Amino acid sequence: MITHVALPIPVRKTFSYLVPNTWVPFVKPFLRVKVPFKNREAVGFVVGIEEGCDKGLKEIQEVIDNFPPLDKKALQLAEWASRYYIASQGLVLGYALPPGLPIEQYLKIKVLAEIEPSGLDNLPLRKAYRLFGRDVVYKHYSNGLLRYYDTFTNKDFIPCSHEDVSDRGGKTLFLGNTNDRLQYYIIKIAQCLEEGKNVLMFVSNHHTIGQFCFDRLTEAFPGKVIRYGVSVTSKKRMETYFRARNKGGQIILGSRSCLFLSVLRNGLIIVERPEEDDYRNEAGFRFNAVNLAIKRAEIENVPIILGSASPPLDVYKRAVDGEINVIEKVYTIKKQPAEIIIEKGISTLGALPDELKSLLLQAVERNEKVAIYTPRKDYSSRIRCLDCKGLFLCQVCEGSLSYQKQRDALSCASCGKKFPYEECCRQCGSRLIQFSNVGVEYLEQTLGEAFPGVTIISAIGESLYENKEAFTKLSSREPVFVIGTQALAKPYGVKVDKLVMIEWEELQRIGGYRAMEKMFHILSSLVDVLEPDEIYAVMVRKKRVDLKGFFEIKTFYIGELEKRKNAQFPPFVRIFLLELEKENEVVGLRLVEKIKAAASEQGIIQHITGPLVQKRKKYRWRMIIRGNEEQLHDFLATVSIFPGVRVEADPVNI
């Protein structure tokens, strides 16, 4: 017997192995098997079986499962995701059931008849494998002489069944603030729990949004909320894994890692704040969890609720097209936003604008809490020598360097490399250095010097969880400045008197085609979570945007959709990025021509823009393909197997 195995690597091909006689009775489609691969062991999924014997093939080492660990609907979702995101089947299946999921660790054996060897009854499965061998245990299992049960629910570990528990599916977009969304969720969840159904709820972040939702839902449904993901221990995660597939009447709360989780009697899917970038998986299998959650709801025929104050543009378009039902709970800001216009961007060579200092001084005198947003986290993200006018660039990839004052180091945003800061220009040796495009670190230091004694808390990705206790202990009797990036919109429950956005308009430059949408999401999320009484935007005159236009939700969405339609950008077409990198320019150009030839052959050359060539340490070519995925799929699947070519579906930084 020969089996074809999909490995969790970014290669769109399967690998063939010979099945030893010991394992022939147990090999089935979509079981996991351990195989040799490039001088190491790898775990892959059986995706094909054929009769025959090829002695030139390596043998599989062992069969890991008795039955497919992913249920039929999860496999259906994985198949769709592989095609939609031009990802290898093995990469998707490997994400759906990661190798670090210790299922066997929590299984025991229940003997149903007298068998040899004796002593298997109630024995941990791993121990039974070790003492008697997998093949012996598998044989008795296949003959119906024993079963497995998990140590959390004491239920049989069998393939998860999908009974239809909903009369019909359906998609709902709930537009409203945090409290209104939670109240709506609670009403819908209560209906499911009363009927013994489970609810699967997605959050983008475990420690902030996830904890807030866990606390609120636990208060409403004591003992009914279980968590799945990195926020809990491995043992707790496995308890949720088994409870989700064996029991009803629960709320399973997690992030994108829940996408393929088997859920018994799944009655509802909820996605809180689908606009969050944290729903995007950027390593290995690249995808947007919101799209997969919507597709899962369609496959399982269960209703899905997308709750947000500012949904993604593609979700809003579905609502406009009638695909999604909309419930809108109107909320208004307490006071019209104000603008503080400055002539130049804030840098370390200048001072904070007088109007901003007066505003903050007034807040201190009133013992107010002020949230200060800036799009950058480092002390400075643009460093320039004032003598030779040269920029500080990365020694590895020549990308722009930023200065991290806390670490006294330079960091490259492009390749991630870090270097010690030498306080002088590497090109001319001058010590006259200008720091501009300042961020959280600079504001934290400068405001600390200007307002000694005022509590200052930073809110960026790295510090948000560390400062969790500080957020919960904010006193209303003393002034506080909370300075951060868009992470300011994550600590639910923190309320402020004033929201100040410094150089928020810079997102126009760094946000690509999604710039205006990104600005809208950040502003809406900050207002939604922080509930400020007053809003101020500190903007450079030449880059000023109309702040009020971002508070007219329908007008903003319709206008942005019209711009995207005219420019042929998502959500009206899909974008795919082709990227290849070679040390040798001639080799790279040869591959570029091969890609163009494939495009011409399939009649889609007109859909390609580029290539754009960059020369750093290596040559890099980037091409953008726009169009319908069905029209482009065969071409993208073809070029994705070319050595050195990476295909990214729906890139955000274009």
For CATH 3.30.70.600, the residue range(s) in the chain are 574-649
Please identify every stretch of the chain with a pLDDT value under 70, giving residue numbers as ranges.
162-167, 347-350, 462-476, 491-492
List the structure tokens of 632: 């482009």
Task: State how far the Cα of 61 lies from the Cα of 41, in Å rounded to an integer.
Answer: 9
Q: Which residues pair with 434 in a beta bridge?
A: 384
Q: Please give the pLDDT value at position 492.
A: 67
Cis peptide, bond prior to residue 571, ω within 30 of zero: yes
Q: Which pLDDT value is given to residue 419?
A: 92
Q: How far apart are CA 476 and CA 289, in angstroms?
A: 38
pLDDT of residue 436: 85
Residue linked to tokens 């599989």:
60
Among 273, 292, 280, residue whose Cα is nearest residue 181: 273
pLDDT in tens, 302-335: 999 999 999 999 999 999 999 999 999 877 777 8
| pLDDT score of 464 | 62
DSSP 289: H
Give me the amino acid identity at 500.
V
pLDDT at position 474 is: 66
Torsions phi, psi for 94 (to 5 deg):
-65, -35
> How far, in Å, CA of 471 to CA of 469, rounded?
5
Q: Which CATH number fits domain 1-100: 3.40.50.720, 3.40.1440.60, 3.60.150.10, 3.40.640.10?
A: 3.40.1440.60
Range(s) of the chain covered by CATH 3.40.1440.60 = 1-100
| pTM of the full structure | 0.92
Tokens of 516: 């205006």
Return the bridge partners of 46, or none: 5
Mind spelling out the 3-state secondary structure of 325-360?
A: EEEECCCCCCCCCEEEEECCCCCCCCCCCHHHHHHH
Question: What tokens appear for 27 in the block?
Answer: 């090999």
- Candidate CATH numbers 3.30.70.270, 3.40.50.300, 1.20.20.10, 3.40.50.2300; the one for domain 171-328: 3.40.50.300
Whether 445 contacts 405, CB under 8 Å: yes
CATH 3.40.50.300 domain residues, the chain: 171-328, 338-377+439-564
Q: Which two tokens stand for residue 587?
A: 């080799």
Structure tokens at 89: 């089947």
Residue 467 confidence (pLDDT) = 64
Contacts made by residues 238-241, CB under 8 angstroms, sequence distance 24+:
238/101, 238/102, 238/103, 238/105, 238/106, 238/152, 239/152, 241/101, 241/103
Q: Which fold has domain 574-649?
A: Alpha-Beta Plaits (3.30.70)
Q: Please name which of 401, 403, 414 lies closest in space to residue 439, comparing C-alpha atoms.
A: 403
pLDDT of residue 552: 87
Q: Hey, what CATH topology would domain 338-377+439-564 get? A: Rossmann fold (3.40.50)
Q: Which two tokens stand for residue 607?
A: 């859909």
Let me know how long the chain is: 654
Residue 233, C-beta contacts closer than 8 angstroms, at least 6 positions apart: none
Instruction: Measure the CA angle with vertex 562, ends 559 and 567; round to 5°.
Output: 130
Q: In 3-state terms, the chain is what percent helix, strand and coil (to 5)?
A: 35, 25, 40
